[in-house]
Amino acid sequence: MSADTQAQTLGFQTEVKQLLHLMIHSLYSNKEIFLRELISNASDAADKLRFESLAKPELLEDGAPLRIRVTFDKDARTVTLDDNGIGMSREDVITHLGTIAKSGTADFMKNLTGDQKKDSHLIGQFGVGFYSAFIVADQVDVYTRRAGLPAAEGVHWSSKGEGEFQVATIDKPERGTRIVLHLKADEAEFADGWRLRNVIKKYSDHIALPIELEKEQAPAAEGEEAPAEQEWETVNRASALWTRPRTEIKDEEYQEFYKHIGHDYENPLAWSHNKVEGKLEYNSLLYVPARAPFDLYHREAPKGLKLYVQRVFIMDQAESFLPLYLRFIKGVVDSNDLSLNVSREILQKDPIIDSMKGALTKRVLDMLEKLAQNEPEQYKGFWKNFGQVLKEGPAEDFANKEKIAGLLRFTSTHEDSAEQTVGLKAYLERAKEGQDKIYYLTGESYAQVKNSPHLEVFRKKGIEVLLLTDRIDEWLMSYLTDFDGKGFVDVARGDLDLGKLDSDEDKKAQEEVAKSKEGLVERLKGALTDTVSEVRVSHRLTDSPAILAIGEQDLGLQMRQILEASGQKVPDSKPIFEFNPAHPLIEKLDGEPDEDRFKDLAHILFDQAALAAGDSLKDPADYVRRLNKLLVELSV
């Protein structure tokens, strides 16, 4: 260690160590992707320099064209990548190549089980990046200098990937980053021109930055001098993929481009590439990832599109182009109308952005519709990963409510599975003759709602009911009033009216029963006066004795629980008590002369109905006391 080079040895953040370990063990069968990752970073570095030089042209220093050069040395067993992009300062190096700044990383790493097979799929949620160098190298040296800093402020970073790294200040006359990979003994194959060229063509052809390999020199003829100058050859196509016509782009190119911009390791599920001309002019290329990133629900997680203006990279994570409920979409938008010095603040206010946002949102929804229609299996995967996020849509995006509703998937009484696979369109196609409503029931869990007494009459009549058990479902349904002209009906709410699904005879019979039970209704009202808002004869039940319905305007159980959990005061509301006149217990109750016992039985029925609805009892001890009293009386 010497004072003038300020050499320092630092430890990697714990998460980096874990990531390195995970990566090396997950990616052994696909090692060559390290090159894609490093080239992707170099390309980003060139984009950043181009952008910063708009305001500060002096950053371009020598003015030489931006490029990345890949060289190798078979004897020394090294591969070197040299870019003239933005480079890094000492501080940049220590944070970017020593820590992982993404929020939630530590939580994510806690999911590691230590079982390599199980853990290896997690890497897909994380992305690999710079550290992938250690898949093939047992030592990595980075020499870098940030554009604009003096030559004496270059930095040398070096690590064997085993827990620590060294940084030292060096002289680096050329700006940018040179990465030297000291290949592991059994990875020597990468120190080879042919191999490198193939890997670059395979994964990085779409990179807009020229990737240059040294031209192989023909051996100098006798008496001739070998040329002193190195000659370079660009091996990739080096044009922005999204500017090329769709018909010329292969699926593999779209996929590799996604991995570059999405920092993802897996192929996307779908994409949509469009060129818009007319009043507004822009290109967009939008992707649906196959897997949710680990930080999908972190508030600060990166989201938004990569913004270019006339091919010049402007910013990552431009959030103004898509609504929040589509935050999982990755992609690029390249506008001809925006100014090169557009900022995040301007983006938020610009009316051009609003109309682009509207159009891009529609493109995404169309892309998802197509996926659902043409690739139902893939759509299932999409729904598992992103369904919860899409459910935020109807509240956020009123204009597209119907379209979003069509993309939603639920469990239902039609399927005997907890998997959410039923769409509203399919539901309506199966609807009964005369059914002009979409019936649903919300609750805690699939196991609980699928046996709910609220479903009894629907079972009897063969009417399908959607079962909604995600935490946000009740909230979602407060924004969804209808689909395809059919209103939604919560089967646990209000006075169930099956409309045309009940025949005239049914209705007449119901009225007659109700009349004959008026006395019982009054007695129950008296017994349950403090606990219920109303008592009535039910026509929802076939097997259970009683049920609790929620008042038309009252908060449901889920909403109440959410509000209570967030510390808000929830208005007290009393449920409606409905009883099944044909049930033997009710008949018994009706004939019960002893007022005390009538009261006990009524309270027990009430509490049981609350339990069946998934609610907790206000006074469980009271329930137990009354029940035991009855049991004792029974057994004597």
The site for ligand ADP (CB under 6 A) is made up of 41-42, 45, 83, 85-88, 96, 127, 129-131, 177, 263
**CB of 21 vs ligand ADP, minimal distance in Å:** 15
Conformation bin of residue 219: beta by default, left when phi > 0, alpha when psi is -120 to 50: beta
Distance (Å, whole) CA 616 – CA 634: 26
Closer residue to ligand ADP in complex, CB, 129/556: 129
**CB of 67 vs ligand ADP, minimal distance in Å:** 12
Conformation bin of residue 133: beta by default, left when phi > 0, alpha when psi is -120 to 50: alpha
Strand pairing partners for 309?
312, 335
3-class DSSP assignment, residue 458: helix
3-class DSSP assignment, residue 318: strand
**CB of 45 vs ligand ADP, minimal distance in Å:** 3
**CB of 208 vs ligand ADP, minimal distance in Å:** 15
**CB of 71 vs ligand ADP, minimal distance in Å:** 15
**CB of 360 vs ligand ADP, minimal distance in Å:** 24
Closer residue to ligand ADP in complex, CB, 146/626: 146
**CA angle at residue 314 from 308 to 319, to 5 degrees?**
85
Distance (Å, whole) CA 327 – CA 305: 9
Closer residue to ligand ADP in complex, CB, 81/422: 81
Burial class (CB in 10 A: 0-12, 13-18, 19+), 134: buried
Closer residue to ligand ADP in complex, CB, 155/491: 155
Closer residue to ligand ADP in complex, CB, 85/614: 85
Closer residue to ligand ADP in complex, CB, 45/367: 45
- CB neighbours of 431 closer than 8 A, spacing ≥ 6? 464, 486
Closer residue to ligand ADP in complex, CB, 179/491: 179
In 221-288, alpha helices (H):
251-262
Strands 576-579 and 546-549: antiparallel
**CB of 55 vs ligand ADP, minimal distance in Å:** 19
Distance (Å, whole) CA 386 – CA 380: 10
Give the strand order in the sheet containing 176-183. Answer: 8-11, 164-170, 154-159, 137-145, 176-183, 78-83, 68-73, 211-214, 232-234
Assigned token pair, 614:
């998934």
**CB of 262 vs ligand ADP, minimal distance in Å:** 10
Assigned token pair, 454:
């609220």
Which single residue brings its beta carbon nearest to ligand ADP?
129
**CB of 17 vs ligand ADP, minimal distance in Å:** 14
Closer residue to ligand ADP in complex, CB, 95/510: 95
**CB of 260 vs ligand ADP, minimal distance in Å:** 10
The residue type at 477: M
Closer residue to ligand ADP in complex, CB, 67/96: 96
Closer residue to ligand ADP in complex, CB, 127/443: 127
- CB neighbours of 570 closer than 8 A, spacing ≥ 6? 555, 560, 563, 564
